[in-house]
Amino acid sequence: MVTAMPAVAASSNWRDDDGARMPSGDVHAWWPQQNQTLCGVPLHRARLDRFPHVLWADALWIHDTAGADSPEMAMCPRCAAAAAPKRNRRPDRRGTRSRP
């Protein structure tokens, strides 16, 4: 199964009102079938739980709209940069030559 968006790996979890397991703590982007996050952190050594049912975009939305009763989520900035579509990255970082 190939998805256009990576899933989530996190240091801890919580249960929502429906009983679904949701990420909390340090949150990283992770491609299923791999043993490390997009920023290169090994899942097992860092003791990160995998959340294949939670997409990275959904975790960003949960983080942005979290209320006072929601657990704290610290999104990895390196994973966020690696998971961003190329069209959303900074266009001024393109390699251009100033002198031929």
- Per-residue pLDDT of the chain (100 residues), as tens digits, is 455 789 999 999 988 888 889 898 999 999 988 999 999 999 999 999 999 999 988 888 877 776 656 678 889 999 988 888 766 556 566 666 677 6
CA atoms within 13 A on the CB side of 47: 4
Would you say residue 42 lies in a domain? yes
Q: Which residues contact 57 (CB under 8 A, 6 or more apart)?
A: 5
Q: Is residue 26 situated within a structural domain?
A: yes
**What range does the domain containing 13 cover?**
7-84
Residue 90, in any domain of the structure: no
**Within a domain: 92:** no
Give dist(CA 56, CA 61) in Å, integer.
9
Q: Does residue 70 lie within any of the structural domains?
A: yes
Q: How many structural domains compose the chain?
A: 1
pTM over 0.85: no
C-alpha to C-alpha distance for 50 and 28, rounded to whole angstroms: 10
Burial of 40-59, coded b for 16+ CB within 10 Å and e otherwise, reads: ebebeeeebeebeebbbebb
